[in-house]
Amino acid sequence: MRILLLSSLLILTVHLSVFSQDTTKITLPGKIVNGDTLPALDLNGVIIFPPGKFDTRTEAARYDRMVYNIKLVYPYAKLAGVKLKQIKAVLDTIKNEKQRKVFIKKSEKELDDQFGQQLRDMSFSQGKILIKLVYRETGSSTFAIVKELKGGFSAFFWQTLARLFGYDLKTIYDPNGEDQNIERVVKMINAGAI
């Protein structure tokens, strides 16, 4: 009985191993070096981020909260950059001022319907970070964007309203100065490190 069981397992194992071989061929890109063809792959660079150094637990908690806030608002800032490019591309094709205003009003309504509630639900800190990240993505302050699209009076109105709530639409983004930590976190997000 043992011999029959062992021979059955042996035959089954050999039978499975014959069918389990993968016959798929993998082709690698290659480079010719001195007449020899060598497989070659281009790898993306890796950024290594050293761990943050904090003197107190409060500083570490503040940094963790900033990371949380940036992860929450960064997708909106990226989307703002994309949408602004799209809107400017369409506006460049529209020559009639009345049609431009209608298009801007329609775009504003669509954006408000899609993202208005999420933006209104943001905290004060998240709003300040969003203003900075919009500058990072577009290269223009929020004030300049509103002024370009809606006019000087509208930009002045929104700036005044923002100042009442503690914001400044003219805030710029300084990745080498006061916004180093924000830039570090954004780079970590883009690299997939966090």
Residue 87: inside a domain, yes or no?
yes
Q: Is residue 125 a part of any domain in this protein?
A: yes
- Map 32-96 to HEC letters: EECCEEEECCCCCCCCCCCCCCCCCHHHHHHHHHHHHHHHHHHHHHHHHHHHHHHHHHHHHHCCC
In a domain, 120, yes or no: yes
Cα 100 versus chain centre, distance? 29
Q: Give, for all 194 residues of the chain, the pLDDT tens digit.
A: 566 665 665 565 555 455 555 556 667 777 888 888 888 877 777 777 778 788 899 988 999 999 999 999 999 999 888 888 888 888 888 888 888 888 888 888 888 888 888 888 888 888 889 889 988 888 888 888 888 888 888 888 888 888 888 888 888 888 888 888 888 888 888 888 77
Q: Count of domains in the chain? A: 1
- Asked whether residue 47 is assigned to any structural domain, the reply reads no
In this structure, is residue 40 part of a structural domain? no
What pLDDT is attached to residue 74?
A: 92
Report field, pTM of the whole predicted structure over 0.75: no
Does 19 reside within a domain? no
The amino acid at residue 164 is L
Q: Would you say residue 109 lies in a domain?
A: yes
Range of the domain at 116: 61-191
Q: Name the residue type at position 136.
A: R
- Quote the CA–CA distance of 132 and 125 in Å, as a whole number: 11
